[in-house]
Structure 1
Amino acid sequence: MPNSAHPDCDALARIGISVRERLAGNTAFSRFPVEGAEIYRAAEFLSEAHCRHVIGLIDGVACPSRLVDEDDWDGYRTSFSGDINPRDRIVRSLDARLCKLTGIDPGHGESTQGQRYHRGEFYHDHWDWFDTDAPYWRHESRNGGQRSWTAMVYLNAVDEGGTTDFVHLDLKVAPAAGSLLIWNNALPDGTPNPLTMHAARPVVSGVKYVVTKWFRARHWR
Structure 2
Amino acid sequence: MTTADCVPDQQALVRVGASVRERLVADPGVYRIENDRVELFAVGDFLSLAECEKLCAMIDDVARPSSLHELDYASGFRTSYSGDLDPHESFVKGISRRIDDLMGLDPATGEPVQGQRYLPGQQFQPHNDWFYTSEKYWQLEEARGGQRSWTTMAYLNTVEAGGGTHFTELGFEIEPKPGVLLIWNNALPDGRPNEATMHAGMPVLKGAKYVITKWYRTRQWR
* TM-score, shorter chain, exceeding 0.5: yes
Cα shift readout 1:156-184 (whole Å, capped 9, x = no counterpart): 11111000010000121110000000000
Aligned position for 2:80: 79
Secondary structure of the 2:159 match is: coil
Cα distance in 1, alignment partners of residues 82 and 70 from structure 2:
16
CA shift at 1:71, angstroms? 7.5
- Report % sequence identity: 48
CA deviation after TM superposition for structure 1 residue 3, in Å: 3.0
Residue 27 of structure 2 corresponds to 26
User: Which residue does 1:187 correspond to in 2?
Assistant: 188
Measured after TM superposition, the shift of residue 88 of structure 1 is: 2.0
What TM-score do you get using the length of structure 1 for normalisation?
Answer: 0.97
**Number of aligned residues:** 221
- TM-score by structure 2 length? 0.96
When the two chains are superposed, the root-mean-square deviation of aligned CA atoms in Å is 1.5
Greater CA drift, 140-149 or 63-72: 63-72
Alignment of 1:98-117 (within 5 A): 98-117=99-118
* Shift, 1:72, TM fit: 11
Q: Deviations over 1:129-160 (max 9, x none)?
A: 00000000011111100000000000011111
Shift of residue 110, structure 1, vs aligned partner: 0.6
The one-letter code of the counterpart of 2:48 is S
Q: Which string of whole-angstrom CA distances, capped at 9 and with x for unpartnered residues, describes residues 15-74 of structure 1?
A: 000000000011111111222110101110001111111111100000000102317981
Cα distance in 2 for partners of 1:135, 1:176 equals 36
Off by >3 Å, runs of 4+ in structure 1: none
CA distance in 2, matches of 1:36, 1:133: 24
Q: State the partner residue of 1:92.
A: 93
- Conserved 8 A contact 2:66-2:72: no
After superposition, the C-alpha distances for 1:103-150 in whole angstroms (9 at most, x for unaligned) are 111010011100000011000000000000000001111110000000
Find the counterpart in structure 1 of residue 178 from structure 2.
177
Q: Which position in structure 1 is the counterpart of 2:67? A: 66
Decide which moves more: 109-118 or 30-39.
30-39
* Residue 143 of structure 1: aligned partner: 144
